[in-house]
Amino acid sequence: MSNKNITISYQEYSSIDDLNPEDRDLCKEATTAMVNSHSPYSEFRVGAAVRLESGKIVYGSNQENVAYPSGLCAERVALFTIGSTYPNDKILAMAITAQTDNFKIMHPVTSCGACLQVMAEYEKKQSHSIDVLFYCQHGSIIKTSGIESLLPFAFAETRLKK
């Protein structure tokens, strides 16, 4: 047996004002994306904004369903929209934020494992890392460059048919 360690790398910003203008704008776009959230059950709105190499911004928001497993997270809504609408436009960065009227969110809300796996797939597909910003409107912002820091053991079976 051998013990191994994994080290992740990320930046933490105390305020949106500390970000560079492109990242600041993308976080604001994620807030805009929450407007179309369909979250009548959890009342927890999530918005994702994705910046493509072409300069386009693609939005995603969480879409709930009374049968909970039938809903979809904001990140996957945005990524699958890109996959079906802009399949050859490289994803450069994405920002995710959340809001609820039930309590004040004080820390960045991070993506679920399913969303991270989809992000990893898109990185693999485009052979380019994706910057991810987790934007807390009343707190800090976490930024990573690449999904490996978020999901170091992403499923990536290379022997499956292409």
Whether residue 158 has pLDDT greater than 90: no
Q: Distance of alpha carbon 101 from its chain centroid, rounded? A: 22
User: What is the DSSP secondary-structure string of 120-141?
Assistant: HHHHHHHTS--EEEEE-TTS-E
In a domain, 161, yes or no: no
The number of distinct structural domains making up the chain is 1
Give pLDDT tens digits for 49-105: 999 999 999 999 999 999 988 999 999 999 999 999 999 999 999 999 999 999 999
Mean per-residue pLDDT of the chain: 95
Is the pLDDT confidence value at 162 over 80? no
The 44-52 sheet, strands edge to edge: 11-13, 141-145, 131-135, 91-100, 44-52, 57-61
Q: What distances in angstroms separate CA 53 from CA 20, 60, 123, one per listed residue?
A: 17, 17, 13
pTM flag (> 0.85): yes
Condensed to tens digits (0 to 9), the pLDDT of residues 10-30 reads 999 999 999 999 999 999 999
Q: Which residues are catalytic?
A: 75
**Residue 128 domain boundaries:** 11-145
Task: Tell me which DSSP letter residue 3 carries.
Answer: -
Q: Is it the case that residue 48 has pLDDT exceeding 90?
A: yes
**Predicted confidence band at 160 (pLDDT cuts at 50, 70, 90)?**
confident
- Asked if the model's pLDDT at residue 161 lies above 80, the reply is no
Answer whether residue 76 is part of any domain.
yes
- Rounded Cα distance between 39 and 69, Å, is 13
154 found inside a domain:
no
In a domain, 156, yes or no: no
Give a yes or no: residue 5 inside a domain. Answer: no
In a domain, 34, yes or no: yes
Distance CA(89)–CA(75), nearest Å, equals: 17
User: Are 32 and 47 contacting, i.e. CB atoms less than 8 angstroms apart?
Assistant: yes
Q: Report the CATH number that the domain containing residue 122 is assigned in CATH.
A: 3.40.140.10
In a domain, residue 90? The reply is yes
Note whether residue 4 is domain-resident. no
